[in-house]
Structure formats: C-alpha cells, structure tokens
Structure 1
Amino acid sequence: MSKNLVIQTDFGLSDGAVSAMYGVAISVDPDIRIFDLTHDIPQFNIWEASYRLYQTISYWPEDTVFVSVVDPGVGTERLSVVAKTNDNQYIVTPDNGTLTHIKDKVGISEVRIIDENVNRLPNSGESYTFHGRDVYAFTGARLASGVITFEEVGPLVETDKIVELNKPRATVSDGVIQGNIDILDVRFGNLWTNINRELANEAGIQYGDSLEVTIENNRRHIYKNILRFGRSFADSRLGEPLLFVNSLDKLGVAINQGSFAKAYHIETGANWIISIRKTSGIN
C-alpha cells in the first residue's frame, strides 16, 4: 500500500479529537504519512463530506486511503465500511451517504463491512461515540500500511446497497440550463453548481456572453441578474458578479473580490435551484 492516509472530519481542531486519530494511525505504523483533507466540514453535513471527497480524490495516487468521519449516526446500527474505487483508492467511512459523489463520479468496485472483532483499536470495545478514532483511523492505518489487505477488512456488501443521498441532475431545455448550488467555495463565498461545462456548450453559451441568472430556494426567488460569462475574474470589474468555470469544470458564480454567498444569503443543496439562459448584453 501507499502509506498515504488522508483524513477529513467535522471535528474542527479546537480539541484533541483529530490528534487522537493521528496517534492511533502512527501507533499502527510510525512511517505512515498522514494528511488533512479538511476538519472544517459543517457539523453533521454528510453532503459536504461527500462532495469534498469528490473534489479531492482524483488528485491522489492509487492505493491512497481516505478516512471520512462525519457521523451523526455514531453508535446506531449504521454500517462502517471501506469502499474501493474504480481508481484503486480506498475510503473508510460510515455508510450514511458519504460515498454518494464518489459512486456517481468515480465509481466503486467493491465495498466491505469493517469487522470490528478484528479491525478495532484494542481496549476500546466499550466506547461507542468515537468510531473515528477506534474504528476508522485504526482500520485506515492498517490498510494503508499493509498490515491488512482489503479482503481482511471484513465481508463484502453489494455496492448498490450502500446509502446514497438525493443528487439532482442538471438539465438543459430550450436554451435554459437548470441545476443546483452544490457547494460553496467557503473561503471566498463563490457558488459551485452541478452544471458542467459540456452542458453550457450544449446550450450554446460562450465566454463573453451575457447570461440571465436566477436563483430560487423552495420556489422563492432569491436572486435575478444579468452576468457575464468570463474566463477568469480579470474579465469583471471589482465588486462585479460573474459566471466562470471552476476547478472541477463546473459553472460557478462569484463576485470579484467579494462573497456572493454572504451578499445574497445563498446556501447549498437540492432546494437551491439555479437557472441560466442567454440574454442581451451588459453595457
């Protein structure tokens, strides 16, 4: 295995939870290389955990092991699993929807239930509230270090049995593209949609076009304006909104050196609908 272990959680860094996970992994193998994906997932936000894995995973080499712990169901009957992707990477996680984007965009070849009789931190059997440390970090480190093989994680479960979140598809009809606000570029307040560049091409949209952008939440109009489709932020003036193609080849909405999300109180999810169509030019 690669000995690369990449961890994401909703724990934050204000206490010792993440450090404890590091300690467990290093106790398994002092030579393991541990990296943070993020520990700033909003509390209990499984959708964002799923998206951040998708945002990141394709840039890591084969055999990298990811541990994702956003687990509002800890201590319940939800399964603990390891998924092997079609690109030969591994994700150790609760089976609660965290694998949604990976299954859809990358593909999952096999899923195994973690056998906690074997793959659990010794002397932790009476603790049911910190599986991130006792099960996921321990199993992930053992897998990344080659202490166990994927087959030794536990029994197979059918991939179509794993939990998936509702994931709407973007569409184009009569020149109008409709999609969702999938996620925020949190630091800068940009909106990242589920509308890929190919769909924009299908609608005949080109750089420099003026586009009418409408954003709704539960059928309530939140925003409507005409924006320019730019290659970069240099194609707009300071404080001006624009559409652009983000790092995942999806359409994004931004304010040049401002936060679109904060300015218009935009959030994310299946109920946040964005519609885009070509219109007359901006002066």
Structure 2
Amino acid sequence: MKKTVKKIVLQTDFGLEDGAVSAMYGVAFSVDSSLGIYNLTHEIPQYNIWEASYRLYQTVNYWPQETVFVSVVDPGVGTERLSVVAKTADNHYIVTPDNGTLTHIHESIGVVEVRQIDESVNRLPNSGESYTFHGRDVYVYTAARLAAGVISFEEVGPICDLNKIVSLPHHQAEVVENKIVGNVAILDGRFGNLWTNISRELLFDYGVKYGDNIEVTISNSYTIFYQNKIQIGQSFAKSHVGDPILFINSLDKLGVAINQGSFAGAHHIQSGDNWKIQIKK
C-alpha cells in the first residue's frame, strides 16, 4: 500500500532573504523526516493579518483533509495573545496566533474547535528563553507533531471558547439603495487586479449580465479613487490591451482589472475592509 505523505503548508510574512523559513523546515523535519512541507506564501506584507486571513481562505479548501497549515503573521509576538490550533469544518488544521488570522476561514468554511497550544509540552526543546520566533519554536513544532501523529488534536492543549476567538472587522457585500456595496478584499499583487467580496451570485441576482457596462466607484473613507463605467466580460480576451474590465475570479467573486496592466497601481488602490466598492447598473 502506498504511504500517504502527511502535509504541512507554511504561510508567513518572513520573506526568503534569510534563514527563518529554512529553520521552520528544519524543525518540522526533526520531528518527522517523512513529512511533506510546502509553501503557501512567505510574501504576506509585514504585519498584514487581513491578507494572511484571506490567503488561507483562498487556498485551504484545495488541499486534502488533515493538511496542517501554519500561518505566522504575528505583530503581537511576545504579548499575551494566544497561540492556537483551529480545526475547520472540512477537517483541516490551522496553527496560528489568535489575532484575526482565522477571520475568513471561520466565516467561509467554519471553525468547529480551537485549542490553545500548551507550550509546556508543545514547544521546541531548549527554546524556552526565546520570545520572538514562535513560528519556529511553537507553531511549526506543534504542527509537525500533529501532522506526524506524535500528538492528537486534543493533546495540543486546552479547548478555547469559539466566541472569544479574535475576528477582524469586516462587512458582507450587500445591496443598499439599488447599489451593491462591498469591499476590495485583496489585491492580486503580481498583476494588480482587485479581488472584491462581491459574489457572482449576488452580482447576477442584482441583474448584471455579461457585456453590461457597470458604474464602478472605489473609495476609502470619504476619498473616491475611481469612478467610471466598466464592461463585465467572461475573459480578458474580450477586451483590448489597456482597457479596464470586470470579471469573475477564481474564487467566484467580482474582480476589477486592466487588461495587461495594473488597476491597483494605476489608481493607487489598496485592500481591506475600509476600501469600498460600489456597483450600479
């Protein structure tokens, strides 16, 4: 019988310029050299918990059940924030600080149980005086022990109250006064596209159809960064190079782009709950 490789997927804001990510690999392999370790990304903007939360939402469902994710975007390292392991409704595990990183997963997939990491047991030996690299000393060590079957989920530590898990402020897309109001949930950074939280279902229930020209307004607080009509197309091939286009992205959400250009760069737009987008027929 073919052996199943137990999988760990890493996400951080560390980058790859130094040895931090490699050290995490080494700790995991020291627990069990047969583990499969993969990168989600190490290019989360420094301290950007919102983006860490979204990238998990973008990725987790495409991995097999029982994959263990480690997400370390941790501006509160060394404070009283909890270190936890969450079990999702689809039977994945996420090892992370309790700082809002679970926001999108809890909303979209569901978190069924969270346990605080008991560092008296689940901490890299001889690392007790280190308070600045929990990604290495606590998170990946616990993840490796869980993935390898050294500990069960119950042995991670005491159960947490789900109602007290930290959630980032965020608003659902909705129809308000005959307009769809949502947010720019994330940037498709390499290409400069905007990914919104407006679902295809909401958009087409509102009455939009492919080929329509839609009035799009993007703002932050009281400042409008973009306002114009854009056609919604089924693919980029339906527009000319340099033209703006609305499209449905790989998560079945509305995207905003410039064909072979950067919409975000051209209009100085960023992402987060405070970046609002309005759609009007």
Q: Matched residues, percent identical?
A: 68
Task: Kindly indicate whether the alpha-carbon contact (under 8 Å) linking 1:65 and 1:91 is maintained by their aligned counterparts in 2.
Answer: yes
Provide the C-alpha distance between the structure 2 equivalents of 1:117 and 1:2, rounded to a whole number of angstroms: 28
1:105 pairs, out of 108, 114, 122, with 108
How far did residue 175 of structure 1 move? 3.3
2:122 aligned with 1:119, yes or no? yes
Aligned residue for 1:83? Answer: 86
Question: Bigger CA drift: 217-226 or 6-15?
Answer: 217-226
2:56 aligned with 1:53, yes or no? yes
2:222 pairs, out of 203, 206, 219, with 219
Gaps of 5+ in 1: 279-283
1:208 pairs, out of 192, 208, 211, with 211
Provide the C-alpha distance between the structure 2 equivalents of 1:6 and 1:259, rounded to a whole number of angstroms: 29
Provide the C-alpha distance between the structure 2 equivalents of 1:69 and 1:53, rounded to a whole number of angstroms: 11
> How many residue pairs get matched?
278
One-letter code aligned to 1:211: I
Gaps of 5+ in 2: none
2:254 aligned with 1:251, yes or no? yes
Task: Kindly indicate whether the alpha-carbon contact (under 8 Å) linking 1:2 and 1:144 is maintained by their aligned counterparts in 2.
Answer: no
2:192 aligned with 1:189, yes or no? yes
2:120 aligned with 1:95, yes or no? no
Aligned residue for 2:164? Answer: 161
Aligned residue for 2:76? Answer: 73
How far did residue 174 of structure 1 move? 4.4
How far did residue 173 of structure 1 move? 3.2
Provide the C-alpha distance between the structure 1 equivalents of 2:157 and 2:142, rounded to a whole number of angstroms: 11
- TM-score normalised per structure 1: 0.97
Provide the C-alpha distance between the structure 1 equivalents of 2:90 and 2:221, rounded to a whole number of angstroms: 37
Provide the C-alpha distance between the structure 1 equivalents of 2:275 and 2:112, rounded to a whole number of angstroms: 31
Aligned with 1:129: secondary structure? coil
Task: Kindly indicate whether the alpha-carbon contact (under 8 Å) linking 1:194 and 1:251 is maintained by their aligned counterparts in 2.
Answer: yes
Runs of 4+ in structure 1 over 2 Å off: none
Provide the C-alpha distance between the structure 2 equivalents of 1:32 and 1:243, rounded to a whole number of angstroms: 41
Aligned with 2:54: secondary structure? helix
How far did residue 176 of structure 1 move? 1.2
Task: Kindly indicate whether the alpha-carbon contact (under 8 Å) linking 2:5 and 2:34 is maintained by their aligned counterparts in 1.
Answer: no
2:153 aligned with 1:146, yes or no? no
Aligned with 1:20: secondary structure? helix
Matches within 5 A, 1:39-50: 39-50=42-53
